[in-house]
Amino acid sequence: MSVNEKETRTYLGVPLYRPKVAFFDFTSCEGCQLQIINNEGTLLDFLSLVEVVNFREAMTEKSDDYEIAFIEGCITRDDEVKRLKKVRKNAKILVALGSCACFGGVNQLKNKFKDLDWPKKIVYGDYDIDSGPVRAIEEVVKVDLKIYGCPVKKEEVEKIVLNVALGKSVEHPKYPVCIECKANENLCLFELGEPCLGPVTRAGCDAWCPNSRAGCWGCRGPAEDANIEQMIKIMKEHGFSEETIMDRLECFGGFYCRLNGDNK
């Protein structure tokens, strides 16, 4: 039976409501959407939870009749603002999918330049390209839910969608990646001479990068009680330069408010 055919699905005996969902991409690499369709082993189970009506990377059919809109990417152009507002008007729930949508992602590094025409000239040359300051989705429209990560972790997306289908609240971990890393019995990367933002970054990825002995870059943004000042002090004590520390903290945009004195 096709996953789009009407049928009654249950979870622990509770009938599942299959909302109509749509996926949209703005300024991004589209890697978060690829995460959704990459793992064929659970793809059909995931699709059984929802009715996908718009997903450019996975289907040719398109419909504006949806209840939940997943938005990947940040906003850099005027035409994107217009399109995003239309999506927001159609959707009952709008989900920021991934670091670019939540914080501006790697793209927001462009905003550090005082003259934004300079990086545009370097990248695009003489081509007339509309590319302005980078904005996260919530800077343009109201966001109902955020799913963090670069890219998002497929298992986490599936769990969140299941909660939405069941009408359950979605709670992100308040503790840092360090907790997950220790639970996985990893050797602390500081002892290996590797910079890592695990002590201050929001958990939920199961220490994805540290599990492979790669230091956390903070793509999920700060944990609730993250002490950035203490993190910087500890990294300096381990011999990491100011440049190395700031490269990590500024990379995805999630720590921008904390670095500028805003504790949001």
pLDDT band at 5 (very low <50, low <70, confident <90, very high): very low
What is the per-residue pLDDT across 136-154, written as a single tens digit (0 to 9) for each? Answer: 999 999 999 999 999 999 8
Q: Is the pLDDT of residue 74 over 90?
A: yes
The residue type of 228 is I
Q: Is the pLDDT of residue 235 over 70?
A: yes
Quick one: CA dihedral 147, 150, 151, 153, positive or negative? negative
Burial class (CB in 10 A: 0-12, 13-18, 19+), 207: buried
What is the Cα Rg of the chain in Å?
20
What is the per-residue pLDDT across 170-187, written as a single tens digit (0 to 9) for each? Answer: 889 999 999 999 999 999
pLDDT band at 2 (very low <50, low <70, confident <90, very high): very low
Q: Is the pLDDT of residue 262 over 70?
A: no
Q: Is the pLDDT of residue 63 over 90?
A: yes
The β-bridge partners of 147 are 97
Burial class (CB in 10 A: 0-12, 13-18, 19+), 16: middle
pTM of the model: 0.89
Residue-range domains of the chain with CATH: 9-166 (3.40.50.700), 177-257 (no CATH)
Q: Is the CB of residue 224 less than 8 Å from the CB of residue 172?
A: no
Q: Is the pLDDT of residue 248 over 70?
A: yes
Q: In the prediction, which pLDDT does 93 show?
A: 94
Q: Is the pLDDT of residue 3 over 60?
A: no
pLDDT band at 4 (very low <50, low <70, confident <90, very high): very low
Of 203, 151, 206, 153, which is closest to residue 173 (Cα–Cα)?
A: 203
Q: In the prediction, which pLDDT does 200 show?
A: 97
Q: Is the pLDDT of residue 115 over 70?
A: yes
Q: How many CB atoms lie within 10 A of CB 105?
A: 26
Q: In the prediction, which pLDDT does 170 show?
A: 87
Q: Which two tokens stand for residue 35?
A: 């995460």
Distances (CA, A) of 14 to 7, 17, 67, 159, 261: 14, 9, 21, 16, 46
Q: Bigger pLDDT: 129 or 182?
A: 182
**Lowest-pLDDT range of 83-87, 109-113, 196-200:** 109-113
Q: Bigger pLDDT: 118 or 179?
A: 179
Average pLDDT, the chain: 90
